[in-house]
Amino acid sequence: MQEFLTLTYYWLKAGHIIFMVFWMAGLFMLPRQMLYLHPAAAGSAEAAMWDKRMGLLRKIILTPSIVVVWVLGLLLASHIGAFSQGWFHAKLLLVIALSGYHGWMVVQAKKMVAGDRPLSERQLRLWGEFPAIILALVVVLVIVKPF
């Protein structure tokens, strides 16, 4: 397995980054779509349209991307011995938080499709910034490796 990882390391790393970008794009899109759904009446044609769009976003972008990011990320981390490095522990904690955010937003979106509005438009706008903050912190940790 180590030989395979050595031979394909840069390809795996490229895949990890590509799917991380897809995942982040989906995480940026989901709260925006929820904002567009917010004023629609439950059961309306508009609500059904946003339900379909959010479902496709989850099915085509969010779910596959988070799976690939985690699998490739853990393979890469094991190959470079990152589990013993402080910067990686911080990154892992942030990625776990981002994964939790992903799941929480999916639950909130499903509640909205059902007619509930658990988050205000202002809250959706604020929560929509969360992935950007986590992304910035992760990039600094990976590039600078401050500890």
Q: Per the annotation, where are the binding residues for heme? A: 16, 91
Q: Per the annotation, where are the binding residues? A: 16, 91
SS3 for the chain is CHHHHHHHHHHHHHHHHHHHHHHHHHHHHHHHHHHHHCCCCCCCHHHHHHHHHHHHHHHHHHHHHHHHHHHHHHHHHHHHCHHHCHHHHHHHHHHHHHHHHHHHHHHHHHHHHCCCCCCCHHHHHHHCCHHHHHHHHHHHHHHHCCC
Residue 37 in tokens: 């759904």
Using an 8 Å Cβ cutoff, are 95 and 24 in contact? Answer: no
